[in-house]
Amino acid sequence: MYVTKLEMNSAIEQTAESIELSVNKKLEGYSTTQEMQSAIEMKADSIELKVNNTLKDYSTTTQMNSAITQKTDSITQSVSATYATKTSLESTSKTLTASIELKINKKDLVSELNASADIINLKSNRLIIDSTYFKLSANGNITATSGTIGGFTLGATTFTSNVNGIYDYNPYDANIASLVYFYDISLSSNLRNLYDVNKDGEIDIMDADDMFKIYEGKITNNNKTTGIFKIDTANPKNFISVKNGNDLAVSIGVGGINTYLLGVQNIVCCAINNSVVNKQILISGKDASIRADGEIFSGEGEVQAKPKNLYDNDSGTTGTVTLSENVSNYKYIEIFYKDCNSVVSFVKVYSAQGKEVVLSNVQVFTNAQTKFARTKTVKINASGITTNTYGVHNSWNNSIENKNDIYIYKVVGYK
């Protein structure tokens, strides 16, 4: 069964009207958008009115800030009236002259701290300081790794001070200056500058004379020197040293004394072994050395050493002289002799072995008319001296006697 188009449209319109009527009936209990907006605005006005009524007893932000500022000013005024300011305290401290005394353990008086306006005294027998770089023990031991003590700079292993002052000349300096002039001795640059007293570029007798005059106070000494004095426990060779730049003036260490120049009056060295004192000395230099046994070695020039007695007899002998050592070991020997009247003389003989030597002595009496010439010739062998000929010439009667009146009493050797 079918319906027409017209019938269908009519049926649809009826159905739509029925649905709309049904919906309107369901929405009768709801407000429209306009009605809802109006209701919300009315509610907001009511809330605002209620809040304003509630906060009418509270201050605004501006009112609160003003109240805080007023309170702060009030507190400041109250504190200032009750307490002193920093400036007033410092002023009061400076004018305080009364002493403040603090004592700890008065019964035993273990320690005492006394402070006044400009002095603080600390007394204690148990003071201990223990810091990273400075320590003080109760028994007074101080440990420090750096600092300055009486002009000395303290390091971890060193103790140094600058040397800067007038050089105090003495007669030894004058003698050294003379030796430098006569024997052309080399000196360090610092010593050459010091010994050139008159600053003419040369070290000579005039400088030595000026040194004596300075020593005697006759002229003013303006010659200064500089350097570094150093104690270094980490340097066994130069444990104590004095330097001028790179020039080592002197050092003392495990190896002994090291110096470029040593000027002294006497050197005495003793080695004690099993309670026996043996005098020994050892000096070494560039061109010469002295050994512990007394031997002297020189690269050039003549060295005067203490002579060795090869024969020594106060009475003397006219016969053969026996020597204690071979004369070939010595550079030269000296033969001391006297006549029957104890008139003494000596002769020096270089490279003495195998040589013949004349020993003579002339004696003139007071009337000048009598003169005795006593002579003899001797032969020097390796280990002795023998007599070859002898005689006495008497000028009074012009006679010659065959007498041996020459006595050899000492022979010494020089190396």
Give me the phi and psi of 232, to 5 degrees please. Answer: -130, 105
Angstrom distance (rounded) from CA 369 to CA 166: 66
pLDDT: which is higher, 10 or 389: 389
What torsion, rounded to 10 degrees, do the Cα atoms 92, 94, 99, 102 define? 80
DSSP 42-87: HHHHHHHHHHHHHGGGSPPHHHHHHHHHHHHHHHHHHHHHHS--HH
pLDDT of residue 99: 47
* Digit-coded pLDDT (tens) for 219-278: 999 998 888 989 998 998 888 988 887 777 788 888 777 776 655 444 444 444 443 344
Angstrom distance (rounded) from CA 191 to CA 179: 14
Quick check: 195 and 176 in contact, CB under 8 A? yes
Of 146, 148, 196, the residue nearest 169 (C-alpha)? 196
pLDDT: which is higher, 352 or 68: 352
Model's pTM, two decimal places? 0.39
Give the mean pLDDT of the chain.
75
* Range from 95-109, 172-186, 274-288, 328-342 that averages highest in pLDDT: 328-342
**Averaged over 13-32, what is the pLDDT?**
62
Q: Is the pLDDT of residue 20 over 70?
A: no
Determine which of 88-92, 359-363, 389-393 has the lowest per-residue pLDDT on average.
Answer: 88-92
Quick check: 389 and 302 in contact, CB under 8 A? no
Of 134, 103, 101, the residue nearest 116 (C-alpha)? 101
**Averaged over 91-109, what is the pLDDT?**
50
